[in-house]
Amino acid sequence: MWRYLPNDFRIRSLYDVGVDWPITYDDLEPWYQEAEEKTGVNGSTDTGSPRTKPFPMEPVAEVWAMRRFRERLAPEYPVVSNTAARNSRPYDGRPACCGANNCQPICPIDAQYTGGTAVAAAERAGVVIQENAVVYRIEAAPGGRIAAVHYFDPDRGSHRVTGETFILAANGIESPKLLLMSADDARPRGISNSSDQVGRNLCDHPSASLTFDAEDELWLGRGPQSPSSINTLRDGPWRSQHAPFRLDFTNISQLRGAAEDLIAEGVYGPAFERELRRRAAHQCNVKNVIEVLPNPENRVTLSDKKDALGLPHPRVSYSISDYVERGMEVSVQHFARIAELMGGTNLRYTPKGEYANNQHITGTLGMGADPARSVVDGWGRAHDHENLFMVGTGVMPTSATVNSTLTALALALRTAHHIEQG
Ligand code: SF4
């Protein structure tokens, strides 16, 4: 649940790369705070994003392994607590984190905020949720206003829903897919797509990592799975030359991976137990979360393949730029230095080009001041349709170096307030 840095909103002006947002960090700051209060965010104030109020709660107790990283990497690399929607004390009817280390895919005790928490609150407030309704078409009236949406029920019965204001919130892949699917005679490129920008500029965060055996016994696997990181490489003048990044330490138990490696190596019996204990205690990992710049050719379009309802799958085109590759090369130098400071041995780098994705989809509904080069304005309103708003990570025109959820939530709250104000 990271905030962007103020400079993340102005990378075209400052570094001559990417695009500027139509809004600034200061415009979003109160909404960041509200999003943090709604979801229960704890964290360190030392991450470079200015605040006008404190975090809703103090950080979760520091994990032993992260303490050793912090102590051994100082002062060269400040290791700080990650900001996360994870309760360090009972908050909003949910319990404090008990450190069971199952945060991904889901916290079994609800110490970590999820979309389900929001859905329950919305239903308590009187919102009616139509389950199993797959919207397949947005219908525009001749003048451009959105008149209705059409959805299939599970038996493929079709229904039409009218309204005054429509909010598209199916995130960065399905939202552009729905807009493209809604093409009609008057709008052959799809709804809200006179600019031909819908689905373009898809960004995620590719990640490379280094796994190594630290000199200390770290015993990863107790406490939150993603507790700490290094934030000093997220912004600087070199951003005009190579991608910036955040360095993140995993706290996922190494037992399974180490056991699989040993079995593959043919190690059995007492030697297996001895070696598994050693690797489970010493093995660790640091990864980068790297900024991808918007590229119109990285995009979501409609596939020829159909799903069970006969609707097209999304087709995704995506390539990694030299800007990112140069950032990867710089990260590798930092990985090596971190391993050295940790007394690391048995260094295993991600092979060049074999990057993991991070599901931080941005850009496909990008906001901007120029209707010819963006899909929505700074309030999330479609340039082409006055009563259609879009929320979710897709409206974020750049990806920065942090998970996209908190920024998307802050933008959504700001959009909701704007709609409410009329
Ligand atoms: S460590 Fe993760 S899974 Fe365990 S209680 Fe805390 S948030 Fe939930």
Catalytic residues: 360
Q: Is the pLDDT of residue 36 over 80?
A: yes
SS3 382: strand
**Buried residues in 408-420 as b, exposed as e (16+ CB within 10 A):** bbbbbbbbeeeee
- Per-residue pLDDT tens over the stretch 207-230: 999 999 999 999 999 999 999 999
Ligand 1 touching residue 97 (CB < 6 A):
yes
State the average pLDDT over residues 19-25.
Answer: 98
Atom number in ligand 1 closest to CA 106: 3
Ligand 1 touching residue 96 (CB < 6 A):
no
Q: Residues near 263 by Cβ (< 8 Å), separated by ≥ 6?
A: none
Residue minimizing CA distance to atom 2 of ligand 1: 103
State the average pLDDT over residues 326-341.
Answer: 97
- Per-residue pLDDT tens over the stretch 287-316: 999 999 999 999 999 999 999 999 999 999
Query: Residue 229 — φ and ψ, nearest 5°?
Result: -160, 175
Residue minimizing CA distance to atom 6 of ligand 1: 97
The share of the chain scoring above pLDDT 90, in percent, equals: 95
Tokens representing residue 87 in the block: 């309760």
Cα(99) to centroid of ligand 1, in Å?
5
Q: What letter would DSSP give residue 305?
A: E
**Whether the bond into 270 is cis, omega within 30 of 0:** no
State the average pLDDT over residues 326-355.
Answer: 95
- What pLDDT band is residue 159 in, cutting at 50, 70 and 90? very high
Tokens representing residue 39 in the block: 């979801």
Ligand 1 touching residue 253 (CB < 6 A):
no
Instruction: Give the up-direction half-sphere exposure of residue 23: CA atoms within 13 A in the CB hemisphere.
Output: 22
- Please give the torsion angle defined by the CA atoms of residues 169, 186, 148 and 190, in that order, rounded to the nearest 10 degrees: -20
Ligand 1 touching residue 100 (CB < 6 A):
yes
**CA-wise closest residue to 113 among 251, 206, 231, 224:** 224
Strands, E, within 129-225: which ranges?
134-140, 146-152, 158-162, 166-168, 209-213
Cα angle: 211, vertex 330, 242; to 5 degrees: 135
Atom number in ligand 1 closest to CA 102: 3
Q: Residues near 145 by Cβ (< 8 Å), separated by ≥ 6?
A: 385, 386, 387
Tokens representing residue 293 in the block: 């710049």
Give the number of other Cβ atoms within 10 Å of residue 86's Cβ: 27
Q: Is the pLDDT of residue 44 over 90?
A: no
Q: What letter would DSSP give residue 19?
A: -
Cα(39) to centroid of ligand 1, in Å?
15
Q: Is the pLDDT of residue 45 over 80?
A: no
SS3 306: strand
Ligand 1 touching residue 102 (CB < 6 A):
yes
Residue minimizing CA distance to atom 8 of ligand 1: 107
Give the Cα separation of 66 and 239 in Å (integer). Answer: 28
Mutate to test the pocket of ligand 1, among 87, 102, 226 (most ligand atoms within 8 A of CB): 102
Predicted pLDDT of residue 105: 87
Cα(34) to centroid of ligand 1, in Å?
23
Q: Is the pLDDT of residue 372 over 90?
A: yes
Helices (H), 87-170: 115-124
Tokens representing residue 16 in the block: 């001559």
- What pLDDT band is residue 191 in, cutting at 50, 70 and 90? very high
- What pLDDT band is residue 104 in, cutting at 50, 70 and 90? confident
Q: Is the pLDDT of residue 94 over 80?
A: yes
Atom number in ligand 1 closest to CA 100: 4
